[in-house]
Amino acid sequence: MSAAWTNIATSAHSLLERLPLLARDFTTDWLPESARWLANSLITIATVVVAFASLFALLTIVERKVLARVQNRPGPNRVGIPFTKIKLFGLGQPLADGIKMLTKEDIVPRAADQVLHFLAPVALLAFSILTFAVIPFGRQLVPLELDAGVLYFFAAGAATELAVFMAGWASHNKYSLLAAMRALAQLISYELPLLLSIVPVVMLAGSLSTVGIVEKQAGWTWGFVPHWHVFTPWGAAGFAIFFVAALAESNRSPFDRPEAESELIAGHLTEYSGFKYALFFMAEYFGMCALCGMGVTLFLGGWQAPLPFLEIIPSYFWFAAKLLTLLFVFMWIRATLPRLRIDQLTRLAWKFLVPLALINLGVAVFWALTADWTGAIRAIRWIVAGALIVGPFVLIGRKLSSGIAPRTYRYAT
């Protein structure tokens, strides 16, 4: 009886697990063998783009809702189904925004570099979408399995900087240009800790392939502690650094200096309106999703379930859950922290994150060298590795925050 149930559960589970692949194969089954590859690729691309475009739409409204709730407001709740009184908690808002953006006049300054002005948002969006190619969304659900997947991800991500520059320069507006340069300085500064923080993962996993890295994180210690990288000292530190750097790389608060409305009149986006602006916006969210997806893949076990019995839930669900959690933390942080000044921002990168990432590299080396320590001695391994991270963190942190004190006012009280 129970065996039969187990069988049914297993087959149902495997069916669910392979559902996306089965659906794809079903769709392209009738095609000749040679065309099937192309069709499969197209379907994959379309699925990813559509999925993330809808996620983007959802995120815009969810973000506004979260921000509103943090500020004790209900948030956008008016737009529902048009021409009816059904409001649906305002879920029609993204659609309305989209229509508004599409129908707005596309203003291009006369002195602007027309071609580049057009190319900038397109390039940004294209590169952002490219980064999704190597993220494993589930078991066997990776659009492009590359041997050097991580490298590909960061190569494609690095190219987005170019688009920022193009936008700033093509606008022929000195504020835009200055803002673009500042944005570039920020992006380049944080590229370093971002890359350094993933080196331990690559080192310990012994692979540059995203699929391989996720597979390395399978299994549980004592049956309930997953082998995710974030549950090691170096992994936790690496994830923290990666997370902060990802915040900065995706121009999210508190590092949203490149787009700061109040200081830079929206930076390199000043001269953009309408659909191009929407493209920029979309690319930002895509970049954020891609970075979060990479964080999930590298540190949070990718599509692995957190507990053994939860494996019956399909892997792509777990990936989505982790991704959404990370995105929620992004919003939460945006709702909490004020924007950093440019000097504080670069100081944080160069004087705090980079040294810490380098130390973390050393800790990872220590971890790798002591891989054969078992039994009680493992506690020592943990204590040493933890101390090697926490100590520098406290020391560098003290150095970083020294000299920062509540502001004193001479003439006002």
* 308 touches other proteins (CB under 8 A): no
Which of 169/316 has CB closer to other proteins? 169
| Smallest distance from other proteins to CB 31, Å | 23
Candidates 21-29, 289-297, 298-306, 397-405; binding stretch for other proteins (CB under 8 A) = 397-405
3-state secondary structure of 220: strand
The candidate with the shortest Cα–Cα distance to 56, out of 270, 325, 287, is 287
Which of 183/320 has CB closer to other proteins? 183
What span, in angstroms and rounded, lies between the C-alpha atoms of 227 and 214?
10
What span, in angstroms and rounded, lies between the C-alpha atoms of 217 and 243?
19
Which of 69/100 has CB closer to other proteins? 69
| Identity at 101, one-letter amino acid code | M
Read off the tokens for 155: 């190569």
Which of 243/319 has CB closer to other proteins? 243
| Smallest distance from other proteins to CB 183, Å | 11
Instruction: Print the binding letters for residues 5-34 with other proteins: x by CB under 8 A, - otherwise.
Output: ------------------------------
Q: Segment 142-171, which members bind other proteins (CB under 8 A)? A: 146-148, 151-152, 154-156, 158-159, 161-162, 165-166, 169
The candidate with the shortest Cα–Cα distance to 233, out of 386, 391, 395, is 386
Buried-state track 247-278, b at ≥16 Cβ within 10 A, e below 16: bbbbbbbbbbbbbbeeebebbbbbbbeebbbb
Quick check: 379 and 385 in contact, CB under 8 A?
Answer: no
Q: Segment 30-89, which members bind other proteins (CB under 8 A)? A: 66, 69-74
φ and ψ at residue 84, rounded to 5 degrees: -130, 175
φ and ψ at residue 374, rounded to 5 degrees: -130, 170
Which of 159/384 has CB closer to other proteins? 159
Q: Segment 169-208, which members bind other proteins (CB under 8 A)? A: 169, 177, 181, 184, 188, 191, 206-208
Quick check: 116 and 169 in contact, CB under 8 A?
Answer: yes
Residues sharing a CB contact under 8 Å with residue 263, sequence separation 6 or more, in sequence order: 257
Rounded to the nearest angstrom, the gap between the alpha carbon of residue 382 and the centroid of all alpha carbons in its chain is 29
Query: Which residues lie near other proteins (CB under 8 A)?
Result: 66, 69-74, 113, 116, 146-148, 151-152, 154-156, 158-159, 161-162, 165-166, 169, 177, 181, 184, 188, 191, 206-209, 332-333, 335-337, 393-394, 397-398, 400-401
